[in-house]
């Protein structure tokens, strides 16, 4: 059987860094190729291993890399997130849409085994049921990011049905990890707050205190991604994207969780344009379809995540890895 050779596009981002490490554990150091539009910092590049500079909007370069490494699977993570997308709507659309089409097209041309496309809770909107949002329901996203992810899900389903491309996808909640900072999302506060709790014992949140959003600890997100990608194709009933639940909390609740470990920590609230984005998204997610189809179950709740985040950021600061 041919050995899998995996290309991760957008590997220097918050999810990419952790996914590359997990994929190298499963497939081996030499079987995972990292790529990003920018050269990462030296320390990050060492961590990523084999690295190629790639703008996913350049299909010629994409083809070159796929041929060079005899790639069999692509994890296509490169995208502009919700908050930055609202500042550059046309560019967000171009990157998020054309990037995906380029990946899906090369999947047909090179007969790639599997493609992974991350979707998001941003596909939902104000007409979506807010609590325990079902897998199938009204979806009228209000951000360009959300519109592009919803359209992307449609393209994935289309390429699967029409061309047989084995493309799989998850609707990630806000992802929280200590290894790198997220960039340009509405859920980013839930990472930043842990860093500020350790540095300055105080945090000004750009969302209001009772804004509930679906969130997930990074290890759970990686586990879900690999479980989905390793599941037998016959188990994947949803070819748009799966709802995925981790936990759900408000800024007030994450602050209370931090205060159990750092009692002097304080939080204040100064909502900005991201409040409207958060208000259009669900409070919590029903992921019973993912549970039923491929056995999804998260390991982390809020307090377990808080403890892990604070411990590891502290170690990172002491070692000088996190500054």
Which residues bind to ligand AKB, rule: CB under 6 A?
81-82, 120-122, 145, 172, 174, 185-187
Burial (CB count <10 Å: 0-12, 13-18, 19+), residue 200: exposed
Contact between 215 and 247 (Cβ < 8 Å) = yes
Residue closer to ligand AKB (CB basis): 32 or 99? 99
Quote the least distance from Cβ 309 to ligand AKB, whole Å.
16
CA-closest candidate to residue 49, choices 40, 58, 37? 40
Quote the least distance from Cβ 139 to ligand AKB, whole Å.
14
> With the C-alpha atoms ordered 312, 317, 320, 323, is the resulting torsion angle positive or negative?
positive
* Token pair recorded at residue 72: 């069999």
Quote the least distance from Cβ 184 to ligand AKB, whole Å.
7
Residue closer to ligand AKB (CB basis): 117 or 172? 172
Residue closer to ligand AKB (CB basis): 40 or 214? 214
Quote the least distance from Cβ 280 to ligand AKB, whole Å.
11
Q: Which residues pair with 74 in a beta bridge?
A: 7, 115
Please give the Cα distance from 67 to 280 (Å, whole number). Answer: 42
Residue closer to ligand AKB (CB basis): 11 or 82? 82
Active-site option among 75, 116, 145, 217: 145
Please give the Cα distance from 9 to 13 (Å, whole number). Answer: 10
List, in order, residues 6 or more apart from 112 with CB less than 8 Å away.
66, 71, 72, 73, 74, 106, 165
Quote the least distance from Cβ 232 to ligand AKB, whole Å.
28
Residue closer to ligand AKB (CB basis): 186 or 284? 186
Is 203 an annotated catalytic residue?
no
* Token pair recorded at residue 194: 């842990």
Please give the Cα distance from 55 to 148 (Å, whole number). Answer: 18
In a 13 Å sphere around the CA of 135, the CA atoms on its Cβ side amount to 17
The residues carrying an active-site annotation are: 145
């Amino acid at each position: 059987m041919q050995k899998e050779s995996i290309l991760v596009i957008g590997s220097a981002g918050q999810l990419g860094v952790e996914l590359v490490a997990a994929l190298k554990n499963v497939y081996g150091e030499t079987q995972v190729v990292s790529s990003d539009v920018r050269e990462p910092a030296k320390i990050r590049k060492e961590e990523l291993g084999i690295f190629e500079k790639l703008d996913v909007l350049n299909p010629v370069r994409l083809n070159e890399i796929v041929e060079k490494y005899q790639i069999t699977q692509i994890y296509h993570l490169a995208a502009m997130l919700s908050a930055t997308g609202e500042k550059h709507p046309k560019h967000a659309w171009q990157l998020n849409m054309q990037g995906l089409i380029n990946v899906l097209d090369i999947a047909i041309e090179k007969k790639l085994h599997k493609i992974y496309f991350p979707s998001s809770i941003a596909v939902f909107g104000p007409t979506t049921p807010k609590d325990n949002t079902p897998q199938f329901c009204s979806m009228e996203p209000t951000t360009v990011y959300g519109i592009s992810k919803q359209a992307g899900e449609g393209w994935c389903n289309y390429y699967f049905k029409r061309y047989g491309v084995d493309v799989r996808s998850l609707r990630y909640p806000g992802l929280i990890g200590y290894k790198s900072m997220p960039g340009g999302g509405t859920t980013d506060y839930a990472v930043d707050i842990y860093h500020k709790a350790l540095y300055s014992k105080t945090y000004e949140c750009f969302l209001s205190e009772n804004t509930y959003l679906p969130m997930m600890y990074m290890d759970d997100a990686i586990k879900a991604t690999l479980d989905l990608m390793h599941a037998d194709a016959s188990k994947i009933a949803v070819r748009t994207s799966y709802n995925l639940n981790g936990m759900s909390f408000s800024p007030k609740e994450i602050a209370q969780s931090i205060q159990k470990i750092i009692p002097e920590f304080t939080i204040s609230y100064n909502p900005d344009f991201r409040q409207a984005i958060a208000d259009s998204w669900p409070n919590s997610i029903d992921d019973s379809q993912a549970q039923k189809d491929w056995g999804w179950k998260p390991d982390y709740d809020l307090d377990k995540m808080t403890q892990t985040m604070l411990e590891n950021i502290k170690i990172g600061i002491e070692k000088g890895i996190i500054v």
